[in-house]
Amino acid sequence: MRTVLVTGSAGFIGFHLARLLLAEGFRVVGVDSMTDYYDPTLKRRRHAMLRESNGFSAEEFDILEAERLLDFATQARPDAIVHLAAQAGVRYSLQNPRAYIDTNLTGTFNVMECARELGVEHLLMASTSSVYGANVEMPYAETHKADTPLTIYAATKKANEVMGHSYAHLWNLPTTMFRFFTVYGPWGRPDMALFKFTKGIIEGTPIDVYNHGEMWRDFTYVEDLVRGIMLLIDTVPQTPSSREEIAAGDSLSPVAPYRVVNIGNNDKVRLEDFVDAIEQEIGKPAIRNYMDIQPGDVPATWADSSLLESLTGYRPQTEIREGVRRFVAWYRDYYAV
C-alpha cells in the first residue's frame, strides 16, 4: 500500500485530499497544528471524520518543530509528501505578515528537508494563483512570468516555488508545485467569500462585495482540485536531457525534476453572478455592501489548465451552480440552519 504524508490534513483542502486518497486505497499520514486562524472546531471535525478510516493516522504539532517533523516522517516512511500546511489568506497577510514568514518559509523549508532526508519519490507543494500578482495576460499560464506578487502571502508562496526548484536541482528531488485558484466547496474555510456570503445571506446581515462586484475569479470545486492533486502524485517530473525535450507550454525546469502546474477551472465567474447564484440557492436576497478593491487584491484570476490536462488527461469540470448548491447544502446541515 502506498503512503502519502499530507501536511495541513485538518485543513480544507488537506481533508478533501486525504478523503479521496483513502477512498482510492492509499494510506494517509497527516500532520496539522490546528491553528486558530479560523475556528479549530471545524478542523477537529474534519480530522475526526478521517479517523473513521483505518488507513488514516495523524498527529497535531507545528511543522516549525523540525526534529519532531523528521521523526514523524521517518516513522511514516511516505512514498510522497503533499505539503498543504500554510498560513493562507490574502487579506490577513496585511495584518499578521509574520505568521506567513514562519509557517510558509521556515515550515516549508522543514518539509523540504524531510523530503530530502527521506528521499521520497515525489514532493508536491501548494502555491497559489496570487503569485501571478500584477500579471494582466489571461488566462494565466505556468510559463508566464510571475514575479510581481502583491502581498506577503503571495511573496512567501513565490519563495516556496524557487526554494523548491533549488532542492529539486541540488538533491534530484522530484518536485511539483501546484498553483491553486479560489477553491470552494463543502467543509470550506470561514474566511473565504462563499462561506461569508452564505452566512450573511442566511442571517440577513450585509455582505462586503469588493470592487463593487467587478471582480472575476476562477472558482475551483474542491473535489475536482483534489482529483487533480492525486493524479499529479503519479506524474513525477524528470530532468529533461535537453531543452528541446520540453513540450510547448510545459513549465518543466531545464535543469531539475521540477514543474509548476495550475489547477483551476479554465473559466472565470463575475463576483456579482457568484452572489446571484448563492442568493438563488438560499432563496433569499443578499444585502450587498459595495466596497472598493482591497489593498493587495487583484480584480481577476483565470487559469489556463491545459498543462494539467496534457499531463493527466484530467480537467476540473464542476459548474459553479452545482458547486454552490453542494456547499449551501453542507452549510445548512453542518450549522443546522
Ligand X SMILES: NC(=O)c1ccc[n+]([C@@H]2O[C@H](COP(=O)([O-])OP(=O)(O)OC[C@H]3O[C@@H](n4cnc5c(N)ncnc54)[C@H](O)[C@@H]3O)[C@@H](O)[C@H]2O)c1
Q: Does 327 bind ligand X (CB under 6 A)?
A: no
Q: How far is the CB of 170 from ligand X (least distance, A)?
A: 23
Return the residue of 26, 27, 62, 115 that touches ligand X, per CB under 6 A: 62
CB contact set of 173 (below 8 Å; sequence gap of 6+): 112, 115, 116, 119, 120, 123, 167, 257
Nearest to 263 by CA among 163, 122, 80, 125: 125
Q: Does 126 bind ligand X (CB under 6 A)?
A: yes
Number of Cβ within 10 Å of residue 97's Cβ equals 16
- Among the listed ranges 58-66, 197-205, 249-257, 279-287, the one in contact with ligand X (CB under 6 A) is 58-66
Binders in 176-195 for ligand X, by CB under 6 A: 180, 182-183, 189
Nearest to 98 by CA among 51, 156, 150, 140: 156
Measured from the CB atom, the residue of 8 and 228 that comes closer to ligand X is 8
Residue 43: helix, strand or coil by DSSP?
helix
- Among the listed ranges 28-36, 109-117, 266-274, 282-290, the one in contact with ligand X (CB under 6 A) is 28-36
Q: Does 305 bind ligand X (CB under 6 A)?
A: no
Q: Does 84 bind ligand X (CB under 6 A)?
A: yes
Measured from the CB atom, the residue of 106 and 317 that comes closer to ligand X is 106
Nearest to 112 by CA among 146, 79, 69, 147: 69
Which grid coordinates belong to 300?
A: 481577476
Q: Which residue is nearest to ligand X (CB)?
A: 11
Binders in 260-289 for ligand X, by CB under 6 A: none
In contact, 128 and 179? CB cutoff 8 Å: yes
Q: Does 146 bind ligand X (CB under 6 A)?
A: no
Return the residue of 20, 26, 29, 32 that touches ligand X, per CB under 6 A: 32
Q: What's the order of all strands across the beta sheet hosting 80-83?
A: 56-59, 27-31, 3-7, 80-83, 122-128, 175-180, 258-263
Q: Does 226 bind ligand X (CB under 6 A)?
A: no
Q: Does 197 bind ligand X (CB under 6 A)?
A: no
Number of Cβ within 10 Å of residue 276's Cβ equals 16
- Among the listed ranges 20-28, 78-86, 162-170, 321-329, the one in contact with ligand X (CB under 6 A) is 78-86
Nearest to 18 by CA among 78, 89, 71, 100: 78
In contact, 222 and 192? CB cutoff 8 Å: no
Q: How far is CA 14 from CA 24, 78, 275, 284, 293, in A?
A: 15, 16, 26, 32, 30
Q: Does 17 bind ligand X (CB under 6 A)?
A: no
Which grid coordinates belong to 200?
A: 450573511
Q: How far is the CB of 263 from ligand X (least distance, A)?
A: 9
Q: How far is the CB of 33 from ligand X (least distance, A)?
A: 4
Q: Which of 153, 184, 210, 331 is catalytic?
A: 153
Q: Is 314 a catalytic residue?
A: no
Q: Does 233 bind ligand X (CB under 6 A)?
A: no
Active site residues: 153
- State the residues that interact with ligand X by CB under 6 A: 8, 10-14, 32-35, 43, 62-64, 84-88, 103, 107, 126, 128, 180, 182-183, 189
